[in-house]
Structure 1
Amino acid sequence: MSETQAWGFTDDRGARPGAARVPRRVVAYVRAGAALYDLGVTPVAVYGSGHDGDVYDPAKAGVLEAVGVPYLGPGRGLDEAVLRELRPDLVVDVTYDGKSPYALDAAFVERLGVPLVVLSVGGGPDLPGLLDRFAALAAGLRVVGPAAAGAGPAPEAVRSVVVGSEAVGPEIVTPVTVSPAVGPGQGAALAEFEAAEAALREAAARSGLGVLALSGAGPDQVHLARPRAWPELAWLAGLGVRLLDPGPGPGANWLTTGWEHAAGLRPDLVLFDNRDHATPPYALPGGVRLAPWNPETPPSAAAYARFFRDLAEALAP
């Protein structure tokens, strides 16, 4: 960070965007924006991915629509003039490959002359590490105070922004109190996250149900999630949830196959993708329990606490 920059952040591409002052007007990919809202920073607008349409997907919107955060449509179709009118001083996106933003083109943001922060949501950090990165970014954006940052209720202190001896969190003029830890931070939200983990661990131990996570792609095709490829699914397995692996085949995150293959795995509980572009579960054995799953759950302790609680209830006898 140069002497002229009052704010900077090392993102998960290894890029180091900075600004002369702490950004106050954040435009974000909807998943990132929902997480930032949970962490005390309200975006001035959010945009979707190539899967999204011209209106909010209810599964992705969280409370953003209810609190009046505008939705701009898919990121790769953003109108540059409309975005300039919003006067953003930071854009936040996510990445699955650690290289490129998922929902818009980096060159588009460069033309705007606005810093771009991209945070990894797959293929790298475990779930607590993923949550810590979003919490660290929010901490750096809240140093001007919730009102100036356009924030919702001010959350409490954030955990870990230091990994080993290398600082990976926000570089800011005003210091933020942090402490090394594994997991998301935020006082009450962290306590609820940990309580939800405990409830889920107990429910999983009692039920022993086989759980299959999937995304419907029509009456003849389904994408079956590979648990180790998804930070939240891998974390569920660590809590004792018996997740079913779809088996060998192409695809790093999903095995794309027919519904008969899903049925052949004999799941007791199916976590089905409830985003708008996914189709409902089709040919599955009778008696299979169903529970919604948003593969783009906002990366915040509060959002995952809700998901864990709902899954614990679905696993209960």
Structure 2
Amino acid sequence: MTAARTPRRLVAYTQAAAVLAEHGVPVAAVFGSPHDEPGTDPVERETPGLRDAAYLGAGAELTAQDIAGAEPELLVTVTYDGDRLYGIGPDLHKALEPSLPVVVLHVGPGTSLADVTHRFAALAGTLGPAREDATAGATGQGQEQRQRQEQRQGPDGSVGQLEAAAQAAPHVRVLALSPAGTGQAHLARPAGWPLLGELTRAGVRVLDLPAAGPSWATYGWEELAGLEPDVILRDTRANATPDARLADVAAWQRMSRRAQVLPWNPELPFTADAVASFLDAVADALHRAATP
């Protein structure tokens, strides 16, 4: 469906909404990830710039009535496979489709970080600030976010720092994973995630194994431990098995004692601040791992 005019009232997936807010485009309401813990509100907890946006829920909690109640003129979300709308199930999509235009940005396999950030910037430029007072509100909400950015060098500077760290630590092995019970874990394939792809482009040795899955590949804990990672990017989402349940998994205990374990959100918003923070954390870990 095509909008007859530039939409001014938006409903968006939290990851997309955070980037739009960073560009000065207000979002009226947001919905979360299907992996969010039921009953939680990620806007209040962790999304700067969106504290005035209504939270509509996530997964089975999200309904067509909830979305309609926000009176949206456009829905914005992402796709990881180029087909399915993330956070919007097929039945919900079908219920919304006749009356609500949808914009979907691909953030999955084959997409670089530069591709993603450019597409979000282009979308924000097309939508533009909704109105002067709304833009001022969004700007005020994002002041804390911009102050943190100014304290860093920004994503470009962070990439340079990461490249220098990778060059100084070519032997350091990085493994991204999501625990999936006591018997196995999902290995995140570098080419399947724009941020992990950015690590490999910077020269970081991100571990991978042959598998059919474009984004995830499932292996036993012992097989992953055999890779001997020096840095582990550990999925922190609610669907990942918590550390308490892994206390008796010998392979995980060996891995986590040997390696630095960094929290990693595979659905991290592609804001300048969040991206720079992630790249800086990996660069710091590389430096520590390379220091005798």
> What TM-score, normalized by structure 1, do the two folds share?
0.75
Quote the Cα distance in structure 1 between the aligned partners of 2:101 and 2:133: 21
Match of 2:143 in 1: none
One-letter identity of the residue aligned with 2:74: L
One-letter identity of the residue aligned with 2:63: D
Match of 2:80 in 1: 96
Match of 2:95 in 1: 108
* Deviation of 1:94 (Å): 0.7
Question: Number of residues paired by the alignment?
Answer: 266
More helix by share: 2
Q: Tell me if structure 1 keeps the 8 A contact 2:110–2:192.
A: no
Compute the RMSD of aligned alpha carbons: 2.7
Match of 2:114 in 1: 128
Greater shift, 294-303 or 277-286, is seen at: 277-286
Quote the Cα distance in structure 2 between the aligned partners of 1:82 and 1:201: 45
Quote the Cα distance in structure 2 between the aligned partners of 1:131 and 1:261: 35
Quote the Cα distance in structure 1 between the aligned partners of 2:60 and 2:155: 34
* Deviation of 1:152 (Å): 1.6
Match of 2:265 in 1: 294
User: Residue 217 of structure 2: SS of its match in structure 1?
Assistant: strand
Gaps of 5+ in 2: 141-148, 247-251
User: Residue 283 of structure 2: SS of its match in structure 1?
Assistant: helix
One-letter identity of the residue aligned with 1:271: L
Quote the Cα distance in structure 1 between the aligned partners of 2:266 and 2:108: 11
Match of 2:145 in 1: none
Quick one: structure 1 residues 232 and 60, their matched pair in 2 at CA, closer, same or farther if it must change by over 3 Å? Answer: farther
- Aligned-pair identity in percent equals 39
One-letter identity of the residue aligned with 2:155: F
Quote the Cα distance in structure 2 between the aligned partners of 1:211 and 1:268: 6
User: Residue 55 of structure 1: SS of its match in structure 2?
Assistant: coil
Quote the Cα distance in structure 1 between the aligned partners of 2:180 and 2:263: 15
Quote the Cα distance in structure 2 between the aligned partners of 1:51 and 1:26: 22
* Deviation of 1:38 (Å): 2.0
Q: Tell me if structure 1 keeps the 8 A contact 2:74–2:102.
A: yes
Gaps of 5+ in 1: 1-15, 155-186
Q: Tell me if structure 2 keeps the 8 A contact 1:109–1:116.
A: no
User: Residue 139 of structure 2: SS of its match in structure 1?
Assistant: coil
Quick one: structure 1 residues 55 and 213, their matched pair in 2 at CA, closer, same or farther if it must change by over 3 Å? Answer: same
Match of 1:182 in 2: none
What does the per-residue CA deviation read over 1:252-293, in whole Å, with 9 as the maximum and x for residues that have no partner?
Answer: 211112211111100000000111221246413332111111
Q: How does 1:66-215 map to 2 (within 5 A)?
A: 67-104=51-88, 105=90, 106-111=93-98, 113-145=99-131, 147-148=133-134, 152-153=138-139, 192-208=154-170, 209-215=172-178
Q: Tell me if structure 2 keeps the 8 A contact 1:72–1:78.
A: yes
